[in-house]
Amino acid sequence: MSVIPGSAKDLKIGRYVMIDGEPCKVVEIQSSAPGKHGAAKMRITGISILNGGKYTLMKPSDADIEVPVIEKKTAQVVSVSGDIAQVMDPVSYEMYELKVPEELKNQVEAGKEVELLETLGKKLIQKVKQ
């Protein structure tokens, strides 16, 4: 599993965190003031980058968290069939079949370059390069 340790207090909106085994992009952080004895509590809300689900993590601010290792790559679209795009890695020439996200359906075409996110052995199309 490609995760690295981190600290809850270092999280910021837009960063990534593992919540319930899902790599999530942090969209909201709420923290309560620390009491007389103890650390502030944090409520971290994230949107899964793999399935779009909303997840919440409750932790003390000094708690350890897992941060997913996310690689950004580019790939060339070879063909599109329905909502599946066949893409090729320009470095290794590997071919993948990836689902085209709903919001990119009319932009992904053969010959265009796309930006991929790769984490936990899964790849997904993030955006179309111009």
Span 3-68 CATH architecture: Roll (2.30)
pLDDT attached to residue 61: 84
Among the listed residues 46, 41, 54, the one whose alpha carbon sits nearest the alpha carbon of residue 9: 41
pLDDT in tens, the chain (130 residues): 589 999 988 999 999 999 999 999 999 999 888 777 777 899 999 999 888 899 999 998 888 999 999 999 999 999 998 889 999 999 999 998 998 888 888 888 888 999 998 888 888 888 888 7
d(CA 1, CA 51): 18
Q: Residues of CATH 2.40.50.140 domain(s) within the chain?
A: 71-128
Q: Residues of CATH 2.30.30.30 domain(s) within the chain?
A: 3-68
pLDDT attached to residue 15: 93
Which residue shows structure tokens 């490609």? 2
Quote the tokens at residue 16. Answer: 């990534």
Q: Tell me the CATH number of domain 71-128, given options 2.102.10.10, 2.60.40.10, 3.40.50.300, 2.40.50.140.
A: 2.40.50.140
